[in-house]
Amino acid sequence: MTRLNVNPTRMELKKLKARLVTATRGHKLLKDKSDEMVRRFSVIIKENKKLREEVEAQLSEVLKQFSVARSVTASYSAEAAFAMPAVSIEVECGSKSIMGVDVPVISPVQQQSSESLPYAFSEITGEADYSVEQASKLLPKMLKLAETEKAVRLLADEIERNKRRVNALEYVMIPQLEETIKYIKSKLDENERAAVIRLMKVKSKT
């Protein structure tokens, strides 16, 4: 390990010791942060996996159902029927902080006229009604999935970054400081011994 390029003086020694204390404390803090983030992360990712499996299964079901419903209607009239949605869903987007990482919180806002389908009943078959309803029901779950998945990705990034910081402190910064402190100490001791010997020599000559 390379040592820092400093003059071996008492002043520098004092400064380096202070830096070592700070670095050690920072390292401990960051390590604790990393541990806690990993714990939270594993909770969230398990939830995310479960949600994703559910959403994927249900969504495939809905889409399959819908393509069946569509196939019995003429393509152009289906296009026209769905072109103008009657409901427009709004969501409330907030954010919360998990260990200093801002993650989204998404909650659907209750829409007023949930029953109105965007087409006349004569145009489209009942299967389509059913699949649209299913899709509407699935949306809150999809929002939840979006929320957790984003949280997973943000947390993963932050954990990675934090790990890099911890390692930089643990394997570069702290050993460097320790090595330099040791070097200065031995240099100062050496100087002291040299001074003593010099005094003894001077004394023996007279």
Partner 1 sequence: MKGKMAIVGDGDSITVFKAAGVAAFPAENDVKARDILRRIAKEYQIIFLTEELARPLSEFTKRFDEETYPVILSVPSKAGSTGYGTQLLKDAMERALGVDILFNS
Footprint of partner 1 (CB under 8 A) = 38, 41-42, 45-46, 48-49, 52, 55-56, 59-60, 62-64, 66-67, 70, 78-79, 82-83, 85-95, 102-104, 106, 109, 111, 117-119, 128, 131-132, 135-136, 139, 142-143, 145-147, 149-150, 152-157, 159-160
Residue 125 beta carbon to partner 1: minimum distance, rounded to whole angstroms: 13
Nearest approach in angstroms of CB 121 to partner 1 is 13
Spell out where the chain has E strands. Answer: 91-98, 101-108
Bridge partner residues of 97 (DSSP): 102
Query: Where in 10-111 does DSSP place strands (E)?
Result: 91-98, 101-108
Q: Shortest gap between Cβ of 145 and partner 1 (angstroms)? A: 6
Q: Tell the smallest beta-carbon distance from residue 24 to partner 1 (Å).
A: 24
Q: Which is nearer to partner 1, 9 or 116 (CB)?
A: 116
Query: Cβ of residue 44: shortest distance to partner 1, in angstroms?
Result: 10
Q: Residue 172 gets which letter from DSSP?
A: I
Specify whether the CB–CB gap between 78 and 70 falls below 8 A: yes
Cβ closest to partner 1, residue 28 vs residue 137 = 137
What is the C-alpha to C-alpha distance for residues 155 and 165, in angstroms, rounded to an integer?
Answer: 15
Cβ-proximal residues to 65 (8 Å cutoff; 6+ apart), any chain: 127, 130, 131, 134
Select 49 or 185, whichever has its Cβ closest to partner 1: 49
Structure token pair of residue 70:
């569509």
Nearer to partner 1, 155 or 184 (CB): 155
Of the two residues 46 and 193, which places its CB atom closer to partner 1 in the complex?
Answer: 46
Nearest to 174 by CA among 31, 37, 38, 34: 31
Least distance (Å) between residue 1 CB and partner 1? 25
Phi/psi of residue 9, nearest 5 degrees: -120, 165
Distance separating alpha carbons of residues 143 and 157, to the nearest angstrom: 21
DSSP state of 120: -
Closest to partner 1 by CB, 141 vs 187, is 141
